[in-house]
Every structure is written in structure tokens, then in C-alpha cells.
Structure 1
């Protein structure tokens, strides 16, 4: 179906959400991937220690990001790449947390983005024993990719959303969220204001 969105995936240096070391971005227009981008990120101090466990998972070492730009350069690039798109990620709370925490660690304003979780959409679309990214992506017809490579994972995530939209016969992500009963999330100042409006004193009256 002709859905438009930007899929995103992060890898981190350690267990800190502020330790982004790699990002993959995939732009989808009319249900097709039209642009891809991968960037290494130099994590901010004191979140820049690489854990052995994380390196074993994604293969990114301190040397690979030593000369990379930090998030202050990558954030404007993300804004430009995504524009007004809704972001999509698998287990989106993690990736949105990386955006928010890495931005905060560098004293940057958390950007406004709406987002949809492909993991939750997959749970409402397929009947699988596991909804991990490789399994859900296989159900969407996307397989044989390098899991934990940020760009490959973003492409897999995009494939899940495009395939799910087709199965549910919808042509935009708000409608996909509605029919699958998955909440559209938001980060940034607008999300904070909306949350206060919904849960503040006036909301109780």
C-alpha cells in the first residue's frame, strides 16, 4: 500500500540509551524504499565506553567511531532526512529513548516526532512464535539481512510496516495504527505539552 514514513534503528555502545554509536534511516514513499542512510556516531562522554557484550552483538568498536561526528551533527541530519514523517522502529520505545537521551546528554532539545512501533503492529498482524525483528521481517517477506546492522534493521522494520499496511488494506500509518489498535507515540516538546494537557489538573475536571 502507498504508505509514507521513515524507519529508524540505533545501535548503542553500552546499556545507556545515551550511547548511540550507529543509526540507520530508510525513507519510504508510496510503499517503496526511496532513500537509505547509515551513519556512525561518536557517543558523548560519559556514555562512550563500549561494552564487550554490545560490541559482540553489533561489531562496532571504539576505533570505528573515533572520528565520527557526535549527535549534535547527526540530529539536524535526522530532522532533514525525516522531515514531517512519522518514524517507525521495532521496539520503538528503545529507539525513541536513544534520540531523547542522547539529545539530552548533549544539552540539545529533544526533537518533535510521532512514531509507530513495528513490533506492536506485527503482534496485531501476524501469528508467530516470536516477534523479534528477524522473525517478523520473514513474515513480511524480508529475510537474509544482517541483524544488528542499523541500516539493515531499519529496512527490515520498513518491510514489516509496508507489508502490514497491505494486509490491513490501509494507506497511511495513522489508519494502520487505528486498525491494529497500536498507539501512535510522540517525543519532544509537543509530546510533553500534550501529556501535561492530558494528565494535568484541568484534565481531571
Structure 2
């Protein structure tokens, strides 16, 4: 991780369950520049709540012919590769990733992850660090609650925050706020443990 190489992802869900993704958007950055993107509708094989539909506009009929997570998983894992991944408010998206992967009995990847929302909280002087408000701060316009657009904006935000911190790698950016990477298959994104000086 010697460069600004990372993948940002975002889920929309069919209901309040963490096992109900109905779409995922992923954006890959290499050397601080956008490299590629992936958008996939997903059949969650669960009921849709009207409240969720109002947020993202995805209806059950939109995903009838879409792959379920078991079928979509290989292409998603291939896209991510071994890069660190991020999401804006990663607690939600990482838990969706974990819960849905476990639902289908699939192995969790070993990728490290970090949170663009936490980064912005530590770096930017804003009262709220919701995705749309951080985007406004950087003059980025987008269609909120579309998984690919949300991922793309969060990826842009990561790059902007790295520029502010003068971080030439994701590891340096995470370290600059005193945090340590989480692991998709294990630990969470938390503050670094302080070591006692002798």
C-alpha cells in the first residue's frame, strides 16, 4: 500500500436487515486516480420495505432477474482484489458485507478497511459529516442514495482528505488520524492502541 490505491463500496438494502442488499456500487482508485467502477443490482431474496424503496427507488421487480449475493460475489471479490476498501459510515456497509456473505456460507475476504466518514470527522471542521454534506464541502454534486454515485463521491472524498493530510498512501492517511485498519473478516476500524513509553 505505497500509493493511494483503494476501493470504495456502497450498499442499498431492501429492508432493515443487514442481509438484504439490493444493489452495490464499487469504485477503484489507483495512484489517486479513478481506475474503474462496478455497479450490480442484487436479488436480496428478502422482502422490500416501502421506506427503503422511498430512499433508493429500487423495486422488487427491478431485481427479479438480478443475481443473488452468491452469484454476484465472485465478480465483486475479483474487482476488489487485495486492495483496502472503504465506505462512508463503514459500520453499516461492512456489516452488510459480513452478514450477507455469512448468510450464503461464503468465505469473508481478508481485505483491510477504513471509513471515509470517520476520516472526515477527524479532518474537516463540519457540524455533520453525512455524505452529502461532506460532498458539498468539496463542491461535489451527485445523486444521493444511488450505490454507484455514493461510492464514487466517497472515493473522491478519500482522495481530497489524503491531499489535505499530505498522505501519499492509504496507510499514511489512516495513521494520520491515529486509527488502525479494520479487517473485513475480523477486527473493526478503531483508534490505535497507545503503547506505553518506557
* TM-score, with length taken from structure 2: 0.90
Corresponding residue for residue 185 of structure 1: 182
Please name the residue that 1:66 is paired with. Answer: 64
Partner in structure 2 of residue 195 of structure 1: none
Matches within 5 A, 1:66-145: 66-142=64-140, 144-145=141-142
The match for 2:160 is 163
Q: What is the DSSP-based 3-state SS (H/G/I as helix, E as strand, rest coil) of the residue aligned with 1:100?
A: helix
Deviation at 1:50, TM superposition (A): 0.3
CA distance in 1, matches of 2:139, 2:107: 38
Give 1:34 deviation, angstroms.
1.4
- How far does the alpha carbon of each residue in 1:71-119 deviate from its partner, in whole angstroms, 9 at most, with x for none? 1122111111011110010011111111111111112122222101000
Show CA shifts across 1:25-74 (max 9, x none).
00001111110111000113xxx100010000000000000100011122
Q: CA deviation at 1:139?
A: 2.1
Distance in 2 of aligned mates of 1:120 and 1:94:
13
> Does the CA contact (< 8 Å) of 1:140 and 1:164 recur in 2?
no
Name which of structure 1's ranges 158-167 and 70-79 shifts more when overlaid on structure 2: 70-79
Greater helix share, structure number: 1
CA distance in 1, matches of 2:72, 2:104: 12
Q: Aligned partners of 1:59 and 1:83: how far apart in 2?
A: 30
Q: Name the SS for the 1:23 alignment partner.
A: strand
Moved over 6 A (4+): none
Residue 150 of structure 1: CA displacement? Answer: 0.1
Q: Counterpart of 1:12?
A: 13
- The answer for unaligned runs of 5 or more in structure 1 is 193-205
What secondary structure is seen at the aligned counterpart in 2 of 1:28? strand
Deviations 1:135-165 (A, max 9, x none): 11222332x2000000000011101100000
Once residues 160 and 129 of structure 1 are traced to their aligned partners in structure 2, the CA distance between those partners, rounded to angstroms, is 17
Question: Which region of structure 1 is more displaced relative to structure 2, 15-24 or 132-141?
Answer: 132-141
In structure 2, stretches of 5+ residues that fail to align are: 188-198
Aligned length: 185
- Contact persistence 1:177–1:184 (CA under 8 A): yes
- 1:54 corresponds in structure 2 to 52
1:125 Cα offset (Å): 1.2
Secondary structure class of the residue paired with 1:124: helix
TM-score scaled by length of structure 1? 0.87
1:38 aligns with 2:39: yes
